[in-house]
Amino acid sequence: MEQKQNKMAVMPMGKLLVNMSLPLMLSLIIQSLYNIVDSIFVSRLSEDALTATSLAYPVQFLMIAISVGTAVGLNALMSRKVGQNDTHGAGTIATTGLILCLLTALVFSLTGIFFSDTLARSFTADPEIASLTSRYMSICVSLCYGIFLETLAQRMLTAVGLTTLSMVSLIVGAVTNIILDPIMIFGYFGFPALGIAGAAIATVIGQWAGAATALYLNRKKNPSIHFIREGYQFRMEDVLKIYKIGLPTMIMQAVGSVMITLINKVLMPVSSSAVAFFGAYYKLQGFVMMPMNGLGQAAIPIAAFNLGAGNTKRIRELWKLLVPGALAFAFVGTLVFVLMPSTLLSLFAAGEEMLAIGVPALRIIGVTFPLAAYVIVAGYFCSGLGNGVVNMTGGALRQLIVLVPCFILLLETMGLSYSWYAFWLSEAAAFVFCLFAVKRELRMKAGN
């Protein structure tokens, strides 16, 4: 039977977690290179150009939030169906997910076509930075279909344990982007130098390449989940199930977009270099957090599959391995941020003002990574058990509800150099919440 053959049912949990998470970690690290590589190359144009990509990033991040949130719901439901040996049900969920992704991408595309200038001007009063922001954002947003299709197809692969193939599709997209970035930005090999627009075009082409690869691999290598036409019915019941699990994660991810926008708003009057630094920091910490996200995302199908199969022992085993693994990666990230801040910022051609702001800030924020790691894996683990509210609430506490008010208060009362301690307060609050939330979920779902 398929359930007995599926590695999520029989493979030793430690080996399974490594087997599932390692490709996801690598693929997410590679995926995070999209924005980092863009920023590194763009910073060679000017600090204004780097600031522009930082201002545009919240809109890009919102697209990622919605695509990932939808995919989390799809992943958990498809894995549960596979655990129940219901391949038709898994295909129905996947097809509904495809429709939702295309409709969402259409909304963003129209926004990019008609409202990029308006959004850019709302982010900054500097006409040159606004023009660069609009130019970059309009391309990334209006041609965003690739990122939604790529995320959907990758989660179809991870839902049945094919995380290595998901990694392959991300590698294709990231490598395509990295190769095209310098060619399109600076005009190598006879190609016209497009500047910041070239960075946006390279990113979009990379996303489409990753989507095409992931869709092809699903068609050829995924035996359990396929898009279906015969007998398919679009049901609101399925949509509600997808968003019941995925919406909290979507909101949690979107919180990051809101947070970046608000922090940029209060930093812009202080210094455009501070905005450029914050954009660089957020992409660097995103890179550091990718291993923890990989562990957490691997936990979703494992927890959901074994919940569907009624194997509570394996659910408890999974949690006992998740936290030490996440903390190990977090401590490495802390050491890098504390010991090498100047080196990290030099990747973005940081000037004296940006270094003066950024070096102490990276050291202050880096200390919080172990707390953040626990919150991240706890949220994904609970999503796999069907409760996405933990992910949403934990993310909101650490990135918005506590962080932004504390950041503004410290900025206004003690100055920029002390405002970064807001991260200590927000991460601690989120950690305490998730500590109790996970205990509750294990007691309810795994009898512990």
- Structural domain of 131: 12-445
Q: What was the pLDDT predicted at 145? A: 94
Which 8-state DSSP code applies to residue 154? H
413 within some domain: yes
294 within some domain: yes
Contacts of 346 (CB under 8 A, 6+ apart): none
5 within some domain: no
Structural domains counted in the chain: 1
328 within some domain: yes
Q: What was the pLDDT predicted at 337? A: 96
Residue 386: which H helix or E strand, with range? none
Q: What was the pLDDT predicted at 83? A: 73
269 within some domain: yes
406's tokens? 């504390």
Give just the sign of the alpha carbon dihedral 76, 146, 399, 247: negative
DSSP assignment of 237-301: HHHHHHHHHHHHHHHHHHHHHHHHHHHHHHHTTT-HHHHHHHHHHHHHHHHHHHHHHHHHHHHHH
41 within some domain: yes
6 within some domain: no
* Mean pLDDT per 10-residue segment, the chain (448 residues): 58 83 77 75 87 85 86 83 78 89 94 92 87 93 93 85 82 90 91 92 93 92 83 86 80 80 89 88 88 88 80 84 93 95 90 92 96 94 84 87 95 94 96 93 76
4 within some domain: no
